[in-house]
A and B are shown apart, each in its own frame.
Chain A
């Protein structure tokens, strides 16, 4: 991303590691923390939607956020790329850092944050006026990149990463919304991948898809985690177990438990978590 804001080289934060390691040596032992939320509180007017959420999300892995409807999953997710700022009356306190850099520092432009932290929505939303190919490159084009060979290369790369290339390579000039629902969602993933973000947020990305399309997207998420840090909100616990490395359980606006997925589901520490995963509420 030569034409874009250079990313400052910041030592990766490792809260759990002892601080004896020299600061200028890149840490080699994973997991490196990509996104770190500290005491995050989010309000809609008087409504306190997320309460004191503190969470360290490891890089290049899949983190699932589960919890009953209305517990603040989407709200929390949207503050990770400052999308909540679009909601009138929404307000956030606390801090969120990406690779150690404060996303809410006064000099940081939310547009740049969103280039580094992409988002996939529940309802797939390819731009209806653009072709399949243009849908993928629109983020680059509207950020001023003109080089056709480069755009073409990025488009193919993004479509391959979204496991869509073979299905659409002959139809790149057809409209984006001529695809099936599942393909549209993968097109949206390609579109987000094309701007090469570091983090991909997904808010119930498969809830509008049929089971086959869902499985395809889930397989894709697994592959994407090689290159991206993925945070996925899901209402399906099965999905969380299938795709994620670690899971955060939210309940009534609080982050109740955060653990490796197998641990959280097999051996929950909190009784709310236990009640939720055993299906006693939600």
Chain B
């Protein structure tokens, strides 16, 4: 590193640069730094804008009734969206119950078991699915799950089940792709070490490989849950929406995005206000789920390690190495 100091007499004069060149280089360096800062600002601004604007427009309509009551009859003010909050949780819960295990296990299959050629094909299919517009999911799900006689799976009517199934289908390829990426990052040395201990492969896949990639998988799962929490088009075609608590899984059910949509296109000022408030609630639901899951699964073990560095380390590389994993 000391070779970078130009004062040494052995410095090759041909490597010397003029002041002009140096200024030009500094300018370029400053310019690139500025662009990076700008990029970071542009990334954070929309989040602040979205949140700030929703609070501005919606916070005023938030009150106890809003979270505990169902909508007031048309013409009356007041009422709440308890049924939509409940419906959203139910739909997300049912979709996650199927989508998360299928997605994660599918990804484990692809990275740990499948032949590379087959895995590449599944990866491609998942990428295509992830690019399918949600309105297309909606209309296809309508044909399969809702349209009477549309398929053997059809209930012949709008239903919570149809909505949850559609959301699960949207989730699965999202989770497969993100989980696969992080599973591939787990060093092969851990798999080999496990096998060399005579541990069965499926146990290594679950208890060692997936556990090592856990936080990355969790991030993918949370992104998928956030994504389906806001899906509207597929639910319009399947769960339909409901102005009250649904009467069962085979019946139409309310959801926050559907409620926001219905209120926003209505002609009533009070409903417009409630749409803003419902949007704020939806954002808070997603944020809360995200933050609480991250908090519950935070890595306690690593924090201990960072505080208490090994003291008997010989003065070689190992300190850096000790935390590389």
A-side interface residues toward B, CB under 8 Å? 81, 83, 86, 111-116, 118-119, 121, 123, 125-129, 131, 138-139, 142-143, 167, 174-175, 177-184, 188, 191-192, 195, 210, 212-213
Q: Enumerate 26 A-B pairs (CB-CB under 8 Å) in ascending A order.
A: A111-B199, A119-B192, A119-B196, A121-B189, A121-B196, A125-B192, A125-B193, A127-B208, A129-B211, A131-B301, A142-B197, A174-B301, A175-B302, A178-B304, A178-B308, A180-B314, A180-B318, A180-B321, A181-B322, A182-B314, A184-B321, A184-B322, A195-B198, A210-B314, A210-B316, A213-B314
Contact B198 A127 (CB under 8 A): no
Q: Give the docked Cα–Cα distance between A86 and B187 (Å).
A: 15
Contact A118 B305 (CB under 8 A): no
Verify if B149 is at the interface (C-beta below 8 Å from A). Answer: no
Which residue of B is nearest A122, CB measured? B189
Contact A128 B325 (CB under 8 A): yes
Q: Across the A-B interface, how many residue pairs have beta carbons closer than 8 Å?
A: 121
Q: Give the docked Cα–Cα distance between A57 and B211 (Å).
A: 38
A151 CB to nearest B CB, Å: 14
Given contacts A114-B198, A177-B323, A212-B314, contact A188 B308 (CB under 8 A): no
Interface centre among A111, A128, A179, A184 (most CB of B within 10 A): A128
| Cβ contacts under 8 Å, B89 to chain A | none
Contact B198 A128 (CB under 8 A): no
Which residue of A is nearest B186, CB measured? A128
Contact B317 A112 (CB under 8 A): no
CB < 8 Å neighbour of A138 from B197, B310, B317: B197
Q: Give the docked Cα–Cα distance between A129 and B301 (Å).
A: 8
| Cβ contacts under 8 Å, B323 to chain A | 177-178
Verify if B44 is at the interface (C-beta below 8 Å from A). Answer: no
CB < 8 Å neighbour of B301 from A138, A143, A175: A175
In addition to A180-B310, A184-B322, 20 A-B residue pairs with Cβ atoms within 8 Å of each other are A83-B192, A86-B192, A114-B197, A119-B196, A127-B193, A127-B194, A138-B197, A139-B199, A142-B199, A142-B200, A174-B304, A175-B302, A177-B325, A178-B308, A178-B310, A179-B310, A188-B193, A195-B198, A210-B316, A212-B314
| Cβ contacts under 8 Å, B302 to chain A | 175
B26 CB to nearest A CB, Å: 40
B199 CB to nearest A CB, Å: 5
Verify if B190 is at the interface (C-beta below 8 Å from A). Answer: yes
CB < 8 Å neighbour of B196 from A118, A123, A127, A181: A118
| Cβ contacts under 8 Å, A180 to chain B | 310, 312-314, 318-319, 321-322
A123 CB to nearest B CB, Å: 6
B residues 163-209 with Cβ under 8 Å of A? 187, 189-190, 192-201, 203-204, 207-208
| Cβ contacts under 8 Å, B203 to chain A | 142
Verify if B212 is at the interface (C-beta below 8 Å from A). Answer: yes
B residues 269-323 with Cβ under 8 Å of A? 301-302, 304-305, 308, 310, 312-314, 316-319, 321-323
B321 CB to nearest A CB, Å: 5
Verify if B214 is at the interface (C-beta below 8 Å from A). Answer: yes
Q: Give the docked Cα–Cα distance between A256 and B214 (Å).
A: 47
Contact A192 B196 (CB under 8 A): yes
Contact B197 A139 (CB under 8 A): yes
Contact B314 A178 (CB under 8 A): no
Contact B196 A210 (CB under 8 A): no
Contact B207 A142 (CB under 8 A): yes
A232 CB to nearest B CB, Å: 15
Which residue of A is nearest B310, CB measured? A180
A262 CB to nearest B CB, Å: 31
| Cβ contacts under 8 Å, B316 to chain A | 181, 210
Which residue of A is nearest B323, CB measured? A177
Contact A121 B193 (CB under 8 A): yes
Contact A118 B197 (CB under 8 A): yes
Contact A112 B198 (CB under 8 A): yes
B16 CB to nearest A CB, Å: 39
| Cβ contacts under 8 Å, B187 to chain A | 125
Contact A195 B318 (CB under 8 A): no
Q: Give the docked Cα–Cα distance between A181 and B199 (Å).
A: 24
| Cβ contacts under 8 Å, B201 to chain A | 111
| Cβ contacts under 8 Å, B194 to chain A | 127, 138, 142
Which residue of B is nearest A113, CB measured? B198
| Cβ contacts under 8 Å, A81 to chain B | 196
Contact B192 A178 (CB under 8 A): no
